[in-house]
Amino acid sequence: MGLKTCGGGDGKIEKWKNSSPVISRSKMKIWIVRATTTVLLWTCVVQLTALGELWGPRVLKGWPSCFTPPSSSSVSSTTSTSNSNPLLAVKLSSVPAKLPLPPKRVYKNNGYLMVSANGGLNQMRAAICDMVTIARYLNVTLIVPELDKTSFWADPSEFQDIFDVDHFISSLRDEVRILKELPPRLKRRVEQGMFYSMPPISWSNISYYLEQILPLIKKYKIVHLNKTDARLANNGLPLEIQKLRCRVNYNALRFTTQIEELGRRVIRILRQNGQFLVLHLRYEMDMLAFSGCTQGCNDKEVEELTRMRYAYPWWKEKEINSDLKRTEGLCPLTPEETALTLRALEIDPNIQIYIAAGEIYGGERRMESLAASYPNLVRKETLLRQSDLRFFQNHSSQMAALDYLVSMESDIFVPTYDGNMAKVVEGHRRFLGFKKTVLLDRKHLVFLIDQYNNGVLDWNEFSSSVKVVHSKRMGNPTRRVVISDRPKEEDFFYANPEECLQLPDSM
């Protein structure tokens, strides 16, 4: 029985051996068919998705326009939500939404453009927007701009220390090719000095770049533009150029994650206590030395500021009549003048006032009147731990970026001087739905303040006059002032980018 069973087993095994190749080949065919079908289906899905992103209707894709600011109702609803529950995550309205990558623009590359931006953060920001726009219309490759490290602040920050460089490059790839650095072969040419460097002419039309700069790029392949602030005209440019400047400013230039997260933390702390006003109190030592404005300073301070002005050769104006400059409205308001102005405008004395500025010249002595009128004065240094800011120390542009984010989200923004930050923030707040921005008429204000201090006006007369002067200076829709033969006296494009705003038809 045992032998028979073994014999029967051998027969079955032999039969299985003979049939196994057939079974293996059948299973292999089935596996190949399934794998091929899966690959084909997946390819179809990918292709359909790509076509949908390129051609699908904007409503289905959920793509907001780069140039349509959020409505006032959406801004106010976000604010009210933050007020009702300050523990909710803060959404920064100034931070562009994450969108699918646009398709790459294919064009003949005419050469490479290197850029050195000069000045403080917002001066460089506007220049970067202009240079991206110029690179696009010259059909050249832009190298990520170099930031100023030789100005008064001596900030060593690189572009990627302040802005999200990958977002900057990818979000604009349908307009211009941007590289983090030159290709190795061209980098060697630059190291050998084989390139052309120059500052472009201020307030130039795009035709200047097409007729004067483009031939240089074609000849030398690499052109370096330095001192790039205010090098593109405010007005007289095609609509698509103006809109691209806005797209770069309000969509492509996003701060780093580290700066955004710290900004959210500051805003969340402020929102826990209700509404807040951002005061850009431009009363730092460098501002006073540069402007020559010494109102309220003692003799020792006046001497110190004058010495500082003479120490910097690029501050060309040396002999300055401070009193005359003040009466012409060319000086930043002092902390004392600012306190009177806010009280005259009937700003709630209990509101939080976030000071967006560096160290105030004169310290606590000069801040006494403002602190007495508005006791809830705060700064980033008082709201955050020292450890939170240690990476930002001695990096003025990164500190300014933090102030920029808080300024965007404030209920009211009040700059005491119309410098670059005041102008760029004003324009950005207009873009976000004409958020309240008090644009102080300093010439009229100092006249009224002097009359009040000299007893010519009583408090009610003074307050009423200040309110009348500023009734239409709250960041409401206005037309940009155009003075074709005096571009420096025009309204700055980035303070009122009206081509990118939703203006009333009646204007």
What pLDDT digit, counting tens, does each position of 147-203 carry? 998 877 678 999 999 999 999 999 999 999 999 999 999 999 999 999 999 999 999
What pLDDT digit, counting tens, does each position of 260-317 carry? 999 999 999 999 999 999 999 999 999 999 999 999 999 999 999 999 999 888 788 8
* Confidence band for 96, pLDDT divided at 50, 70 and 90: confident
Instruction: Give the separation between CA 345 and CA 352, rounded to whole angstroms.
Output: 16
pLDDT of 60 higher than 50: no
| pLDDT, position 31 | 65
Instruction: Give the separation between CA 349 and CA 344, rounded to whole angstroms.
Output: 11
What pLDDT digit, counting tens, does each position of 479-492 carry? 999 998 899 999 99
What pLDDT digit, counting tens, does each position of 362-400 carry? 999 999 999 999 999 999 999 999 889 888 878 999 999
The total number of residues written for the chain in this structure: 507
Instruction: Give the separation between CA 210 and CA 494, rounded to whole angstroms.
Output: 23
Q: What are phi and psi of 452, to 5 degrees?
A: -65, -45
* Confidence band for 128, pLDDT divided at 50, 70 and 90: very high
What pLDDT digit, counting tens, does each position of 455-474 carry? 999 999 999 999 999 999 99
Buried b (16+ CB within 10 A) or exposed e, 277-297: bbbbbbbbbbbbbbbbbbbeb
Whole-model pTM: value is 0.82
Instruction: Map out the domains of the chain with their CATH numbers.
Output: 112-252 (3.40.50), 257-506 (no CATH)
Contact call for residues 165 and 144 (beta carbons, < 8 A):
yes
Measure Cα distances from 128 to 132, 154, 255, 416 in Å: 6, 19, 14, 25
Buried b (16+ CB within 10 A) or exposed e, 334-369: bbbbbbbbbbbbebeeebbbbbbbbebbbeeebbeb
